[in-house]
Structure 1
């Protein structure tokens, strides 16, 4: 099972997951034109798209994907917020089978109506991916993980130094996005013995530091490939 980041920032988010025979999109936070430009596969070949929440950097072209026949899955709260009548509604902890991929939704914590993360399993290889972006924390546990794609938005020390950023904005970030120490503490609670790659998502350009984050994660999780997903 492959995971490919097409975009990962506050400017837009889109990720491809494929078993080879089944390919789904996680997030649709790009224009349709930009999504087509970045995607290595034809949009018409996508088996489904799964949206975590209604913010436009995650759901910008969700409706257009529905219009061209790509089934869109999301929570009821997200569908209502997007006013997307064609959405396929799923509940927290509900699983959906799309081809050879099994996708299970779980609750995340963000300043939106009903945000989800997704756990994805390849029926053939039994590989498992945990995907969570735009969440302040997580409380789910999954066994048998082989890949983790997780929000790692900022370092509190760097956020505090941003003198031109209003305090109320800093507090909103702290209440809605995952700080590096939180991500590390959460990952240490998981069974990572079979995890080969950790993908760091949605890193802030102003209060994140790719080099520093990479060094820290490599020290915390030796033997696991650490990949920072770029804009």
Structure 2
């Protein structure tokens, strides 16, 4: 498995993942021309794009990718919110295995599961090869995890803020209470992530990628140290 971070955070999320025989984009929240450049203009190498929800920092380039011939997978609710259709659009419901539309994806099982975010039908993804040689969990933009993290080789997961840092910014007047409450109801904190990791079976996990850190409400060194001490697993802060 090979993972390349093209963009993360509120400015745009996009990750290139090679797993099994497939090369995927997880999210497409950067402008299409930026994605083209970061992929060395080899869009044809992308077998599919998986989108978690309709916010533009996750779905900005979806129409252009579809026009370029890339199958884009998402829930029906996300597709409706984006107002898109066409034969390159592949929709499903949470917990419904994504159907296979290309030879490259036939050795993959893609299982979307529900996320907690202020949009129509958000999901996270559990992706594995049919022979279970490679497994990946991708979680972003969720207030908490409704389900136990599946066993996986690699975990890509949001760690948006630290509660103490967020509350300090409210006290200092850097953000207002309404924004604070919106963040808490839509994004995963360090504290919630630690709880989820303690409940998970991580024996198989080799690497944890931490995604979507807030510029003002997180603490990169604290977050990395805490997750490493909690899990004993190599941590990459994106």
- Fold in common (TM above 0.5): yes
Q: 1:5-44 CA deviation, whole Å, 9 max, x = no partner? A: 2111010000112126310111000001111122367112
SS at match of 1:170: helix
On the 8 A contact 1:152/1:201 being kept in 2, the answer is: yes
Give the root-mean-square deviation of aligned CA atoms: 1.5
User: Cα offset for 1:81?
Assistant: 0.5
User: What is residue 146 of structure 1 aligned with on the other side?
Assistant: 153
Q: Is the 8 A contact 1:74 1:90 kept in 2?
A: yes
Q: Write the mapping of 1:1-231 to structure 2, written as runs, cut at 5 A.
A: 1-19=1-19, 21-39=21-39, 42-86=42-86, 87-96=89-98, 97=100, 98-124=105-131, 126-141=133-148, 143-162=150-169, 163-222=173-232, 224-229=233-238
State which drifts further: 36-45 or 84-93.
36-45
Summarize deviations over 1:43-95 as a string: whole Å, max 9, x none: 12211101000000000000100011101110111001100112211111111
Which blocks of at least 5 consecutive residues in structure 2 are unaligned? none
The answer to whether the 8 A contact 1:127-1:144 is kept is no
Q: Does the aligned pair in 2 maintain the 1:144–1:194 contact within 8 Å?
A: yes
Q: How many residues align?
A: 228
Tell me how far apart the structure 1 counterparts of residues 47 and 207 of structure 2 sit (CA, whole Å): 24
Does the CA-based 8 Å contact 2:79-2:85 persist in structure 1? yes
Equivalent-residue separation in structure 1 for 2:216 and 2:229 (angstroms):
23
Unaligned runs of 5+ in 1: none
CA change 1:8–1:64 in 2 (3 A) is same
Whether the aligned pair in 2 keeps the contact of 1:150 and 1:199 (CA below 8 Å) is yes
Shifted more, 34-43 versus 162-171: the winner is 34-43
- For normalisation by structure 2, the TM-score amounts to 0.91
Instruction: Tell me the CA shift for residue 99 of structure 1.
Output: 3.5
3-state SS, counterpart of residue 188 of structure 1: helix
